[in-house]
Structure 1
Amino acid sequence: MNPQTRRNFLKTTGCLTIGFSLAGMSAFPELLHPVQELPGGLRRHPAVNAWLEILPDGRLRVFTGKIELGQGIRTAVAQMAAEELSMSMDLIQVVIADTDRTPDEGYTAGSGSVVNSAMSVRYAAAYARQKLLELAAEYLDVPITGLWIENGRIGTANDTRGISFDTVLDGRRITDTVRPPVQLKARSDRRVIGKPVARKDIYYMAAAEPVFIHNMRFPGMVHARVVRPPSYGAVLKRMEENLLKKEFPKLESVVRDGSFLGVLSEDEYTVIKAQEYLKKNAEWDQEKPIPEIENEKLPEYLLSLPATDETVENEGSDPENDTDIEWIESSYFKPYIMHGAIGPSCALGLYKEDRLFIWTHSQGVFPLREALSGLLDIPAEHIHVQGVPGSGCYGHNGADDVAADVALLARAFPGRHIRLQWSRTEEHQWEPYGSAMILRNRAILSDRGRITHWKYDLWSDTHSQRPGGSAGKLLPASYLRKPVTDNSFGFSGGGYRNAIPYYQIPNRYVKAHFFRGPLRVSALRALGAYANLFAMECFMDELAVHAAKDPYEFRLMHLNDPRAREVMQKLRNRTSTASHPEDTGIGIAFSRYKNTAAYCAVAARVAVKDGKIQLQKMWSVIDAGETINPDGLKNQTEGGMIQSASWTLREEVTFTPEGISSTDWNSYPIFRFGDVPEVEVTIIDRPDTPPLGAGEAAQGPAAAAVANAVFHACGKRIRRLPLEKYL
């Protein structure tokens, strides 16, 4: 086959696949920085064609296994590729979370999207640039150092037009894999990374254009609703299908499998009314699944449950039995809180010719595929799961469950696209919540006001029951005629995330106690770090008062890390130069997320008047290493502070023995637009250091900053959330 024929063949197929090795090659060594270790995503999927496709027209298609949750990963990934291949952002197309096309990157969680996925794209693109330059030098018979590369073309200094990537590749299929060292662009040459780049999806949201999975429609599609049990563990005893169809003649189908019950119709209003009818008329056997607990007694009840103990840290001496030593003690409590996604969970499904197609806003399309395979006994290779952005959620809400619902319905009603959207009540009642936590601090101060001993005990349920390939973790699985169950505890480590102080304390003892609580729980943004840092940083404020130290100085005297000290010092400068009204209080807090990711310090100003807390302003200083998109980092930090403030001041899941009682925005209040404080974020950019996960850095310190501000405004130390309830 001659080269021209090969090019035509590749143009017909639509793309060129690239994956190659450049071990030992170093074009422009004076301009480029070698990277010796590849990111985790690229180590698991080392072929360049797992991340990139160069299209015949010179555009670039980029793949990421992560889902867009509002964190801006689509934009960050495009920036990485555009930078390393010197391309305009308009020439980059990003494909997200697709089991048929993208690398398996597990879950979009833990503030790891930029660190793992986006950086994998960056290194793959840098590798591709080097190979393209090498091939162009060979094609043009010129030294590689005399070439330029720009927007899908390569040329010499005397040739302003150059030749296309398509010409350079000349139909060749390069299949090697990436191996270090990789040559990244030097800081001085970067034009896209570190610059604010607008997210196109924000424009479409503001313009009310279709963006989310909720907007998807297919020709001939039917709508569906699932009839939920009245409470956990209820069993469907009887439903009159004939009466139902007589009442609603437009129903296409009624699907029942054990206690799993769904209705389908081309008319969405019909299935909504049929769902309401069945809620009133179907008969269920049920026991009260939740113990009768007074809300005020919830901490005591949780402490009474059997617990599994785990020593997290045991460093130094323990003078527990020395009666001459004075321990300073405080206890804190965080209730169950919910994700509260503004758009209720939604999914679409189609079962056709022994293949299942699912469209979902799940944070893990590959684990979901494995779980659906086990649920329906369908080979995983016969299931295609496509990620589509949903209306906001950081953590494990109902996205996987609604996908399981629609998968069951699609198998029972094949050949038609099915759209299933939960109601607000369903979302509030059935999503997995963030666990309630009890937190106890004890410390000893020296005569000079330094912490010499630190003891911390926490009680928590698990912080992740994501399916992870297990069908038994999906909500409808246990209601089937042949139920699928998984009673494993889940991820316990999330409970003690950030439980070890980042401060320099010589003697530290941290212990976790894990119980199984009465409510369904799973991953919520920052996992246990939110409550642990709330307790830790409030206690640091209390210790500063005991030591008669300024809150900033007290923290700084326990911090040796220069980067930690800098975020604190910059925060102090920001707040000290601002004017503060009388009768307000300033609270501060600090953390390094996971003790390995972004550094974040937060300050809050509140006024307490007539028994109400007025949150006026919040400041943050964040060091997330190299900043890819400063606007994106600011947005993440601002949003994290505001979300945390809403959790801290207002949010609490309520329940009775019959079930969840916080079923709407009145019984589960969140911040409205009028409640949002002024926010100010300062970024410390470190372009010569690796990027650090930042999406969950602000939640913990923001909570403590608000609580500490309340104390400094009115003198009342509130140790139980939500603050407004216990003021």
Structure 2
Amino acid sequence: MTALTRRALLVGGALLVGIGPARAALPGSLAEAPRIDAWIRLDPDGSVTVLTGKAELGQGIKTALIQVAAEELGLDPAALRLITADTELTPDEGYTAGSHSMQDSATAIRLAAAAARALLVQAAALRLGARAETLSVADGAVAAPDGRRLHFAELAAEIDLDAPVPEATALREPGTRTLVGRPLPRVDIPAKVAGGPAYVQDIRAPGMVHARIVRPPRPGARLVALETEAVTARPGVIRVHRDGDFLAVVAEREYAAVMAMRALAAHAVWQGGTPVPEPDALFADLAGREAKRTIIHEAGAGTPVPAGRTITAQYRRRYQMHGSIGPSCAVAEFDGTRLTVWSHAQGMFPLRKALAEMLALPEAQVRCIHVEGSGCYGHNGADDAAGDAALLAHALPGRPVRVQYTREQEHLWEPYGGAMMTQASAVLGPDGRIADWDYAVRSPTHLTRPPGAGQLLSARMLESPFPAPPPKALPQPEGGGDRNAIPLYRFARARVAHDFVAAMPLRVSALRSLGAYMNVFSIESLMDEAAEAAGADPVAFRLAHLDDPRARSVIEAAAARFGWGAALPKGRGAGFAFARYKNLAGYCAVAVEVAVERESGRVRLVRAQAALDAGEIVNPHGLRDQIEGGIIQAMSWSLFEAVAHDAAGPTSRDWSAYPIARFPDIPERLDVHLIDRPGAPFLGAGEVAQGPTAAALANAIRQAAGVRLRELPMRPELVKAAIGV
């Protein structure tokens, strides 16, 4: 067979993507996995498998990745098989987080699929005696102008996908694409709405046993006494497992495990615990904790500050939880040599590393397979459940072990989104624009996920415990607590500081958008306060401080489609906010209308209009899902959600103590305008709506009720107290 050259890969008169001579410059996740068959595999029968290290979390990534690959390969999307996040089969893409799936994984898959198509074309050209540029690829075959066709199965043996994606790869021209940009139905939805097996919670394996964990009544408590005889004698109980403070029961049937868990909890005696500040002392406690200050942005230091009005404000956010609709679950099986874990955690490769460390197994003997979980964006209890299941499976070789958390366990033990505070000030110059900006955010870490064993709750509780590693701040430009703390606006002078608090009384980690939710809330609230002080329209005020044409476009589109400036009934107000997520991902502007009941303090989101620029759009239906869901989730965070706690620890054991938005709270109208940019790079959009929604709500409340709220969530009691009714 004639060798295929790099030149042969550049075929078809398509869009040529230059990657440069250095392999380190490969885009997306190709930098870590540059070979074609890391992403695209062609079987002898001509069937194609697409591989991704990213996981489906409800963001619709399965559908979008299939579309991207099918477009480049000229296949019906239904003909493709997709494998997600499996440490034995897929590339290592770390966590599915930070709105990186499209810009990293979809970019890699698109280029790998295009490279595979080029190899198929060149192989067909040799067989058919035709010029490569005259051939077309569609319906699983390469066709010549005279009608001769070679199916992928006929060419599979003649191409080698164990080769690097070339330095320049020809993509299909945007104008010729038939799948990218179309609203294909999401492939993950049918089983979910039909009650079919869709989640890790649905797994039932032959010989599977059921385990339940007994947690301490509060964080930091130690198990000092335990009576097990009555529990081990219960029908169906296989064993009571104790290792230090890690306590579990395993039974043949799920109900037997539940009842045994309750009985075991009654026979366990715990002492001690980590003190937690009372709710009223939360922010004083946070302000008094030791912090390391880093200046993350400084501009115009030599520019004099003109005399002018100064607007100063402090903003606050309480602890918030993921509130996953389905409590965390995992299934694990150990055959005496190899451990396999099915989990809905967001990083299978980091989880594998943590489990291997905890059990003293070589990583090669641990396989982690992602299965969707019922609700989460961020680090909830999924990794912990996987650790629990792995420990118990290791103790019971040959039996699959299913660990299912209760609602109370999920609420009390998941890592929360951390409490935060910001201090901001702006000086208005004589021209009515901001001449000086000074901002500081005080925040804990937003990432305590594995790969360390000490980041698994069960591993910390063993007789020989793994200590939790010291919390770290995530670096800019993406950041953690300081994510989106640097405004995209143009100011003559600006200074932004991050005060990183390492030690916190409650366990914290990643919650959707990390610090961006709080920082955008703070920045966009202060922009409105400054606009009000300047006597300027809030939208015009923002535009006066922006040079980025794409930022201006989303602001103008959202304002126009909302009908910004129109009169509203008494008791209602309009609010606006904008951000570019991480200042390097998608652009999003949100305008909202709220109704405020002055006597009760209740705020209702009446309607919302968003505009989004996420680069080239693959599936507009899936993208709208993300923004609509993000607005509703952020509305729930901003108006309802805060972890209740006292000195003994969290008390939000159920939905009554941790209220979330319900169906009556959904806005009457929710519109999303998408700005498509064919041929432009994909920009992450999964978390763009969180901050703008929160700020738009606060700004609308100000217009509706004449009060400015600076604490999240903006619950009725805060609204009512501010109004003074």
TMscore range, shorter length: over 0.9
Corresponding residue for residue 689 of structure 2: 698
Query: Cα gap change, 1:319/1:166 in structure 2, threshold over 3 Å: closer, same or farther?
Result: closer
The aligned residue for residue 403 of structure 2 is 420
Letter aligned with residue 708 of structure 2: R
Contact 1:35 1:184 survives alignment (8 Å): no
Tell me the residue number matched to 2:54: 66
Counterpart mapping for 1:69-88 below 5 A: 69-88=57-76
- 2:665 is aligned, of 665, 675, 694, to 675
CA distance in 2, matches of 1:592, 1:261: 45
- 1:25 & 1:64 partners in 2: Cα distance? 23
Alignment partner, residue 26 of structure 1:
10
SS in 1 for 2:445: coil
| Alignment equivalent of 1:684, drawn from 657, 660, 675 | 675
The counterpart of 2:238, out of the listed 232, 252, 259, is 252
Q: Separation in 2 of the partners of 1:621 and 1:174?
A: 40
The answer as to 2:38 corresponding to 1:50 is: yes
CA contact (8 A) 1:590 1:600 kept: yes
Distance, in Å, in 1 between the alignment partners of 2:226 and 2:319 is 34
Look up the match of 1:715: 706
Q: Which residue of 2 aligns with 1:448?
A: 431
Q: CA deviation at 1:144?
A: 1.6
For 2:419 and 2:8, the matched residues in 1 are separated by 53
From 602, 611, 614, give the equivalent of 1:621: 611
Letter matched to residue 472 of structure 1: G
Q: How does 1:129-278 map onto structure 2 within 5 Å?
A: 129-159=117-147, 162-170=149-157, 173-246=160-233, 248-278=234-264
SS at match of 1:330: strand
For 1:413, the aligned partner's letter is L
Of 189-198 and 325-334, deviating more is 325-334
Instruction: Verify the 8 A CA contact 2:65 2:106 in the aligned structure 1.
Output: yes
Q: 2:276 aligns with which of 284, 291, 296?
A: 291
Verify: 1:331 aligned to 2:314, yes or no.
Answer: yes
* Pairing partner for 2:113 from 109, 125, 128: 125
Report whether the alignment pairs 1:499 with 2:499: no
CA shift at 1:605, angstroms? Answer: 0.4
> Could you give the per-residue CA deviations for residues 670-695 of structure 1, whole angstroms, max 9, x where no partner exists?
01112111210000001131110110
Matching of residue 307 in structure 1 with residue 291 in structure 2: yes
Which residue of structure 1 lines up, in the alignment, with residue 508 of structure 2?
Answer: 521
Deviations 1:178-226 (A, max 9, x none): 1221100001110001111111221221111110000011011100001
Question: Is the Cα–Cα contact under 8 Å of residues 647 and 670 in structure 1 kept in the other structure?
Answer: yes
1:151 CA drift (Å): 1.9
Instruction: Tell me the CA shift for residue 20 of structure 1.
Output: 7.8
What 5-or-longer segments of structure 1 have no aligned partner?
Answer: 4-18
- Give the letter for the 1:396 counterpart: H
Cα 1:403/1:25, change in 2 over 3 Å:
closer
Partners of 2:8 and 2:119 lie apart in 1 by 12
In structure 2, what residue type is equivalent to 1:721? L
Match of 1:8 in 2: none
Match of 1:346 in 2: 329
Contact 2:51/2:90 (8 A) holds in 1: yes
Candidates 630, 643, 651, aligned match of 1:653: 643
Partner of residue 555, structure 2 = 568
**C-alpha distance in structure 1 between counterparts of 2:567 and 2:57, whole Å:** 36
Tell me the alpha carbon deviations over residues 332-391 of structure 1, each in whole angstroms, 9 at most, x when there is no partner. 101000001100000000111311110000100000000111111111000011111111
Amino acid at match of 1:490: K
Per the alignment, do residues 20 and 102 of structure 1 end up closer, same or farther by CA in structure 2, a change over 3 Å counting?
farther
CA distance in 2, matches of 1:283, 1:210: 39
User: Contact 1:21–1:178 (CA<8 Å) still a contact in 2?
Assistant: no
Return the offset for 1:547: 0.3
The residue aligned with 2:462 is 480
Give the whole-Å Cα distance in 2 for the aligned partners of 1:708 and 1:676: 19
Q: Does 1:553 align with 2:535?
A: no
Greater shift after overlay, 425-434 or 169-178?
Answer: 169-178
2:74 maps to a residue whose letter is S
Query: 266-275 or 38-47, which moves further after superposition?
Result: 38-47
- Residue 325 of structure 1 and its aligned partner are, at CA, apart by 5.4
Asked if the contact 1:91–1:151 (Cα under 8 Å) also holds between the matched residues in 2, the reply is no
Match of 2:495 in 1: 509
Three-state SS of the structure 1 residue aligned to 2:439 is strand
CA distance in 1, matches of 2:159, 2:681: 34
Quote the offset at 1:60 in angstroms.
1.1
The CA RMSD over aligned residues, in Å, is 1.8
Q: Which moved more, 1:423-432 or 1:203-212?
A: 203-212
Verify: 1:39 aligned to 2:27, yes or no.
Answer: yes
- Give the partner amino acid of 2:175: S
AA aligned to 2:391 is: L
Q: Counterpart of 1:14?
A: none
Is the contact between residue 20 and residue 174 of structure 1 (CA under 8 Å) also seen in structure 2?
A: no
| Structure-2 residue corresponding to 1:391 | 374
Amino acid across the alignment from 1:650: F
TM-score of the superposed pair, with normalisation by structure 2: 0.94
Task: Establish whether residue 537 from structure 1 lines up as the match of residue 509 from structure 2.
Answer: no
Which residue of the partner structure matches residue 23 of structure 2? none
Superposed CA offset, 1:428-457 (max 9, x none): 000000011111111100111110100001
Measured against aligned partners, the alpha-carbon deviations of 1:559-597 in whole angstroms (never above 9, x if no partner) come to 001111111111111111797751211100000011111
Partner residue in 2 for 1:12 = none
Residue identity over aligned pairs, in percent, reads: 43
Whether contact under 8 Å (2:36, 2:161) holds in the other structure is no
Deviates more, 1:508-517 or 1:209-218: 508-517
Contact 2:303 2:492 in 1 (8 A): no
- The whole-number CA distance in structure 2 between the counterparts of 1:714 and 1:174 is 63
Contact 1:627/1:686, CA 8 A, preserved across alignment:
yes
What CA distance in whole angstroms lies between the structure 2 residues aligned with 1:35 and 1:184?
Answer: 11
Shift of 1:323: 11
Q: How far apart, in 1, do the equivalents of 2:609 and 2:645 lie?
A: 35
Please list the CA deviations of residues 126-178 of structure 1 after superposition, one character each: whole Å capped at 9, or x if unmatched: 00111110110100111222222112111212226x12112123455453211
For residue 559 of structure 2, give the secondary structure of its aligned residue in structure 1.
helix
User: Contact (CA 8 Å) 2:306, 2:429: kept in 1 or not?
Assistant: no
Structure 1 position 240, deviation (Å):
1.3
TM-score normalised by length of structure 1 = 0.94
Matching residue of 1:13: none
